[in-house]
């Protein structure tokens, strides 16, 4: 059973940066897509960024393209989300998620494994 643990959230001023981490354990396959989703109060959970572990392909939603970077450290079984130029609209609970497979998809129902979430608040 894959387990995901996020860390790195917090309060940051507009224009600032944060780096989220997602450490995974219990891999049962060599093919995973790791992803970051977020959910703001009163809104549906939405995809942010995705990384296919087997081939390193990444994808970003338009709302974060050019500002966020997803990366991985295989030795630490950790996926990161570097978030720059943050705005109040980025305020949300950020979730790490994983699905077995190679195809990057943005639909939450395709992800079987979820972390507990970490709060990111962008405010002055």
Residue tagged 């395709």 (tokens): 110
The tens digit of pLDDT for each residue in 66-76 reads: 999 999 998 99
Rounded to the nearest 5°, which phi and psi values hold at 24? -110, 150
Q: Look over the chain and give the mean of its residue pLDDT values, rounded to a whole number.
A: 95
Q: Map the chain to HEC letters.
A: CCEEEEECCEEECCCCCEEEEEEEECCCCCCEEEEEEEECCCCCCEEEEEEECCCCCEEECCCCCCCEEEEEEHHHCEEEEEECCCCHHHCEEEEEEEEECCCCCCCHHHCCEECCCEEEEECC
pLDDT at residue 32 in the model: 92
- What pLDDT is stored for residue 61 in this prediction? 97
pLDDT computed for residue 31 by the predictor: 87
Query: Once rounded to an integer, what is the mean pLDDT over residues 86-90?
Result: 98
pLDDT tens for each residue of 26-78: 877 778 999 999 999 999 999 999 999 989 999 999 999 999 999 999 899 99
């Amino acid at each position: 059973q894959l387990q995901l643990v996020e860390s790195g959230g917090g309060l940051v001023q507009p224009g600032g940066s944060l780096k989220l981490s997602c450490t995974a354990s219990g891999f049962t396959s060599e093919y995973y897509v790791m992803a970051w989703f977020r959910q703001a109060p009163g809104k549906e959970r939405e995809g942010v960024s995705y990384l296919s572990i087997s081939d390193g392909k990444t994808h970003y939603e338009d709302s974060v393209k050019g500002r966020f970077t997803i990366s991985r450290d295989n030795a630490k079984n950790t996926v990161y989300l570097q978030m720059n130029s943050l705005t109040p609209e980025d305020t949300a609970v950020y979730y790490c998620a994983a699905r077995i497979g190679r195809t990057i998809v943005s639909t939450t129902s395709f992800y079987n494994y979820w972390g507990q979430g970490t709060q990111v608040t962008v405010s002055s």
